[in-house]
Amino acid sequence: MNTIENVAVIGLGYIGLPTAAILAANGITVTGVDVNDRTIEAVNRGEVPFVEPDLSSYVAGAVSQNKLSASKDTPEAQAYIVAVPTPFNPDYTVDVKYIKAAATNIAPKLSGGELVILESTSPPGTTQLMGDFLIALRPDLSLDGADGKPAIHVAHCPERVLPGRVMIELVTNDRIVGGLTEEAAQLAKHLYAVFCQGEILITDAATAEMAKLVENSYRDVNIAFANELSVISDKLGINVWELIRLANHHPRVNILQPGPGVGGHCIAVDPWFIVAAAPEESQLIKQARITNDQKPDWVVDRTMRAVEGIDSPVIAVLGLAFKANIDDLRESPAVAIVEKLSRKLSTADLSVVEPHVKELPKQLVDLQNVSLAELESSISSADAVLLLVDHDDFKEFDRTLLEGKHIIDTRGVWQ
Ligand code: SAJ
């Protein structure tokens, strides 16, 4: 049974805010803590500073019921959930500065008995590091009650929700909880059971940390395999989409889909934490990252070959987001491809269609030969059409517009 009635969630981003809102909707009193004034003001007005289906109604409801509020200061609470960014350093080791900043603010509020959960995706050992850091700041406390000092309970509970389906997957996904002690894991399990209807599986903190990295690496390796097949197939004159569809009829084969590269802030990042932790032993994981990171360059070359011989070619570029039907352009291979094409083909006109944004991102906004356009006008005037994102909008239009154009379909939408 959960005995925790109030929680502080540190970091009101893509994971922290949904977690805060769903806890609040299930009767817990939640304070969300963030460094960004605009985020705090938005949440206290019951608003959400980014797009995620259904999140707005959760936040608005929880704020109006006085179950959720936001603040710059870390309050006293029975449990703390740390959901801050964990970027990597140039050598791919984790940069723990945001975790340390959160712990520095939590430490003075502790009196013993509290639960501190790290949710941020982290390499094995990071939860232990956070625990040791807290104890260094509060030597009157312990992680396990040793020497008669009151214990704080430290656990890792990685999020595994898919952007665009966060409010559903928070409830339905199974969860892994890794404790620095068994008691910490049990306390965290009971807290997550307040809203999670999936199975909650208990392990140690390092295994929980690694499980999250492995899930995203598994996907990265499988996508790299598909991307490699797409390059091989192009060379051999084989339709890769048909090839994969046929191979996947085998009962034990399930190849993912090739694309222009892997984007987002998870799959393209997390495998590097494994590589940094065991560089000699993670050759396959590393090569998958390299293969996926090289795919945008291959798409650029392929597009340049398609328009070779055309003076001042007009290229319709469909999609900038990192995947279908979202407005998120961060770490998007499509943005990188447009930027590279613009520089390499200075005489070309790149007419970009992205129905989910109103303006070009900062990497593209100053490029003279790149502009935003509507789908049909962009295709009509183009010599070549480069499809980078499988948005639904690109599946439903008059296909006769494509006749006579050079087509580079990186997602297999028009096969
Ligand atoms: N992609 C392909 N081919 C595919 C599938 C994906 O090229 O067959 C590309 C996408 O276009 C995109 C990238 O991979 O650029 C990542 O997209 P995604 O939908 O696979 O994953 P994310 O980054 O949105 O979310 C992932 C999820 N992890 C897994 O599915 C194992 C999610 O459950 C995690 O919570 C999330 O990472 C995270 O926060 O770590």
- Superfamily of chain region 215-409: NAD(P)-binding Rossmann-like Domain (3.40.50.720)
Give the mean pLDDT of 114-142. 98
Query: Which residues does residue 70 pair with via DSSP β-bridges, in sequence order?
Result: 32
Instruction: Report how far apart, in Å, the C-alpha atoms of 280 and of each of 182, 207, 274, 276 are.
Output: 32, 20, 11, 9
pLDDT band at 163 (very low <50, low <70, confident <90, very high): confident
Helices assigned H by DSSP within 312-361: 333-344
pLDDT band at 389 (very low <50, low <70, confident <90, very high): very high
pLDDT band at 408 (very low <50, low <70, confident <90, very high): very high
**E strands within 236-358?**
314-318, 349-353
Residue nearest atom 3 of ligand 1, based on CA coordinates: 257
Least confident of 109-118, 207-216, 263-272: 263-272
Query: What is the predicted pLDDT for the residue at 390?
Result: 96
Q: What is the pLDDT of residues 347-388, one digit of tens each?
A: 999 999 999 999 999 999 999 999 999 999 999 999 999 999
User: What token pair was written down for 63?
Assistant: 């704020």
pLDDT band at 164 (very low <50, low <70, confident <90, very high): confident
In this chain, the answer to whether the domains covering 6-198 and 215-409 adopt an identical fold is: yes
Residue nearest atom 28 of ligand 1, based on CA coordinates: 216
Query: What is the predicted pLDDT for the residue at 51?
Result: 79
Contact 158, 209 (CB under 8 A): yes
Instruction: Report how far apart, in Å, the C-alpha atoms of 187 and of each of 79, 95, 180, 393 are.
Output: 10, 28, 12, 46
Contact 94, 185 (CB under 8 A): no
Instruction: Report how far apart, in Å, the C-alpha atoms of 347 and of each of 63, 86, 177, 342, 353 are.
Output: 53, 40, 55, 9, 19
Query: What is the predicted pLDDT for the residue at 265?
Result: 86
How many Å lie between the centroid of ligand 1 and the Cα of residue 329? 14
Task: Tell whether ligand 1 has an atom less than 6 A from the beta carbon of residue 222.
Answer: no
> 250: buried, middle or exposed (CB in 10 Å: 19+, 13-18, 0-12)?
exposed
Query: What is the predicted pLDDT for the residue at 343?
Result: 97
Q: Kind and range of the H or E element at 3?
A: none
Q: What is the pLDDT of residues 49-105, one digit of tens each?
A: 887 889 999 999 999 999 999 999 999 999 999 999 999 899 989 999 999 999 999
Task: Tell whether ligand 1 has an atom less than 6 A from the beta carbon of residue 223.
Answer: yes
- Superfamily of chain region 6-198: NAD(P)-binding Rossmann-like Domain (3.40.50.720)
C-alpha 56/C-alpha 52 separation (Å) is 8
What order do you get walking across the sheet with 370-372 strand by strand? 370-372, 349-353, 314-318, 384-387, 406-409
Q: What is the pLDDT of residues 307-355, one digit of tens each?
A: 999 999 999 999 999 999 888 898 999 999 999 999 999 999 999 999 9
Q: Residues in the chain, how many? A: 415
Task: Tell whether ligand 1 has an atom less than 6 A from the beta carbon of residue 161.
Answer: yes
Q: Kind and range of the H or E element at 359?
A: none
Task: Tell whether ligand 1 has an atom less than 6 A from the beta carbon of residue 267.
Answer: yes
C-alpha 246/C-alpha 409 separation (Å) is 19
Q: Is 90 exceeded by the pLDDT of residue 397?
A: no
Residue nearest atom 1 of ligand 1, based on CA coordinates: 262
C-alpha 43/C-alpha 278 separation (Å) is 40
C-alpha 124/C-alpha 117 separation (Å) is 15
DSSP of 114-130:
-EEEE-S---TTHHHHH
C-alpha 190/C-alpha 112 separation (Å) is 18
How many Å lie between the centroid of ligand 1 and the Cα of residue 253? 19
Please provide the distance, in angstroms rounded to a whole number, between the alpha carbons at the two ends of the chain. Answer: 53
Contact 319, 374 (CB under 8 A): no
Give the mean pLDDT of 393-410. 94
Query: What is the predicted pLDDT for the residue at 172?
Result: 98
Q: What is the pLDDT of residues 9-30, one digit of tens each?
A: 999 999 999 999 999 999 999 9
C-alpha 211/C-alpha 2 separation (Å) is 25
Where along the chain do its domains lie? 6-198, 215-409
Counting from 1 in the atom list of ligand 1, the atom nearest the Cα of 270 is 40
How many Å lie between the centroid of ligand 1 and the Cα of residue 72? 31
C-alpha 366/C-alpha 339 separation (Å) is 10
